[in-house]
Each structure stands twice: as C-alpha cells, then as structure tokens.
Structure 1
Amino acid sequence: MIVLKSRAELILMRDAGRIVAEILQLLRERIKPGVTTHELDEFAEAECKRRRVRPAFKGYGGFPFTICSSPNEKVVHGFADSEPMREGDILSIDFGVVKSGFYGDSAITVPVGRIEAETERLLEVTQRSLQMGIAEAVVGNRLSDISHAVQACVEREGFSVVREFVGHGIGRQLHELPQIPNFGAPGQGPRLREGMTLAIEPMINAGTPDVRILPDGWTAVTADGRPSAHFEHTIAVTSHGPEILTAL
C-alpha cells in the first residue's frame, strides 16, 4: 500500500529534508583533494548529533556508516575509508536522517577539484534527469512517467541507466512503496496522488549499465570501471505540483 501523508506529516518531512539538505551542503563544501571519505563520514555523524537527529543509514540492514560515499566507478552504497581523494575524482554521497519519526533522503555527486569534461557532462546530465523526473511527479500522472523522463534524458545523451537500484517511497520508513525505476515506458503503474512522498534517484553510468557488488556485500561498482553519478531528492506530490523536500 502506498501511504499518503497528511499536511501535518508533510511539515515533519520538510523539517527532516531541510536538515538533510543543510548537512549535504556542508559536506559538499569540504570535498577537495586530500580529504578522506572517513573524515566526511565522521563530520556527518557529528552534525547529526549536534542537530539531535538520527542518521538514516547507519545500522540499516547492517550498513556501518552515516553516509554512503561512492567515488568514481562506485555507483552506490560505498564504504567510507582513509584513502585521500585526488584531483579529478568525483564523489557521490547518499545521506539521510530521521527526525520526529520521518525520513529525509538525498544524494549528490561532487567533483574533486577539476574533472574531465566528459565526467562533468555525466554529472550535469544525471542532475538534469532528476529534475525532469521530478517535473513528472504531478497529480494524475502515472508512476512510470517519472521513470521514462529520467531514461529519455539520459539515453539521448549517450549514458546508461542502472537497472539494479531504484527510487522508492519514503516517510515513516526509509523504503516504502512504490519502487521507482529510472527506466520504463510511460503511462504505466499507479496514478500519482496528492500526499505521495517519493525518493527519486537516478544512478547513471558513463558506460555500460551493468554493475557488480564488491566482497563487502554492499558497494556497487560499474562493471566496466567507468564513472557513475547519483543525484536524489525526496519530493512530495501536491495539488500545486511537485515539492522538493530536500532542497535548501
């Protein structure tokens, strides 16, 4: 069952989403050559404690970190480590919190210093595909209209959509129904209704869409070793159009 949120519940979700956005912005400002993902993870956990919120991911299914930190060819669910980031890397950070019983969830991919032009284009297209998916999250549309908008944006630019991981509903649980693939024909699935809250998250590869899982059982990497980008927002479907709950 897809859970519709009341106006009062949306107020709580806006609060959680704002905190996610603020901490992600602080993390973005700290990403530079020489910094480690372990340092970023510790910073994010300290910010959660300071703001009296709970990290959404730490302990979830046994995941051991506050942020998912996935550089370069790592697609999602990467482990923090003590390897200094280098000029030309990219870093995807997926991060969420729980506040007043509700989840917020968002992701960004950030260049580490100057990056190659084609990698910069990958980031721009992935972020644009998220915006196009969000634009379809209007009352009366079908769920797959979001999926199709993402896929169409990505594939016309020559990039590929990861199939193994998808977006999801969100609210009192981190993962609620419905699942939201980043691919598919339009006009399919349930109609979007006011009060739906969705985490839309394109994960886009420069090369093949195929991924494999590292021995840690969590980290997904591109099968061909080429870079991947990940952007995500938690949004609400409202009578006035989509509202991004994890925007500053």
Structure 2
Amino acid sequence: MRTLHFVFVLFLAFVPYSCKKDSDRRIRKFHRQDVGSSANDILSDKKYKSITIEIIYMTGFQPTDQAVENLKQLVTNVCNKPEGIHVVLREIVAQGKSSYSIEDVKTIENDNRQEFTYKKDLATCFIFLDGPSAENEGSAMVLGQAYFNTSMVIYEKSLKDNAGGFGEPELYKLESTVINHEFGHILGLVNLGSTMYSSHQDTAHGAHCDNTDCLMYWEVETGNVFNNLIGNSPVPAFDENCLRDLKENGGR
C-alpha cells in the first residue's frame, strides 16, 4: 500500500506540471501564426472581450505618450472589446546592434514577451528597437513590420533619426502613423484576413490600400512617408474601404 500511495502522489504531482507545459506551448503557438490570421479574434467580441497591448521598448527608445494614446484610441474605435483596451509598457536593455533582422526581432520577443492571450483577453505585442532594420537599402528604409498574427516591430531609432528637426515631422506623428499602420496589418488589412468588400488592394505592394490618403497605403511603413507628415498634416486614418472591411469582419 505504501508503494502504491507513493506512486499515486508522484502521479498527481506530475500531471499538473505536464498540463502546464502543454498549455504554455499552446499559448505560444497561438502567437506564432501568419499575419492577419487572427483578425476576426482581434476585431470581434465572439471569443475575446478585451485586448492587452504589450509595448516592449529598449532603453531610450520608448514611444511617446501621445503615440501610445493614439494607438489605444484607434483600437477602441475599430475593435469590439466591451471589457476594454489595456496597455502594458516594459523596458528592456538596449542591445546596441547596428541593425536587426526579423529573426533577431523574433528572438527578442521570445526572450522578453510576457503578455499572452488568456481566457477572454487577447494579447498583442509591439517591440521598439534601438537600431534600424537589416532590410534597409541605401535611402530606402523599413520603419515597421508586422511579422506574426499578434506581433509587430517598430524601428524606433529610424523614427527618431528622422523626426523633430527642421523640415521633419513631429515624432509622435511619425510614430502614430507607423504604429497604427502595423496594427492595421494584424487586423487583416488589406485582403490579409479581413475580406475586401470592394477592390482597393495595391497588389504591386502586397497587403496595402491603393488610396494614397489611407493609413494602409504602402509608403506609410517606409521612409517615403516623412514628407507627408510635415506641418499641419494629420496622422493618416483608415479610409472608407478599409473601415468597411474591418466592420464586416466583426469590428465596430
């Protein structure tokens, strides 16, 4: 009887540990899907009633408060989340790399991300880096990228290097434009998980809108956007076609 009892206790101790490990793997697997594949989950309230936005930034490269607030407002406006939008900011040590590949970014997320989808709360993640994209070529710059269904990176150093000076846009404007654009991709825009209800995809530039005034125009995530934000120019917004795509996919 003692032997049976001893084995039984070990079995009970082992089962929760194993289940927890299996659960952790499932949670992480959920956040490693294609961009746009979770658009309906993010937009609608069918499965998830709230959104947590985790912002991981390297020391010295925290986004401006106004850009964070603008992101929160955009998500509130287009997503059906009756229990709210929650933002969590966390600082990590700057790595000082000369550039970052997407594989570098994925490693940083894997090592540092702490917010994951749980019960009725869906988690998304932004990473703000202290260096440029490894995909930059000459004067052509990549300012941000969505790379998983809930994951986005912002090359904050590139934004800071091109904002706030004479003839340059204000930093919060540039941040808001790029941040909101990347969030638009995980919302399934354009034709990336949220079905188009009229033809407006700029197929020459992938999952982007053909309206030059729309937030989802392709130049928004590249250095070509700088001149468009100077002076009194507003932060771009989703156009009517993009808004309809979001609404038809469960959004507000």
Shared fold, TM over 0.5: no
Computing the radius of gyration over CA atoms, which structure comes out larger, 1 or 2? 2
More helix by share: 2
Output the TM-score relative to the length of structure 1. 0.28
More strand by share: 1
Output the TM-score relative to the length of structure 2. 0.27
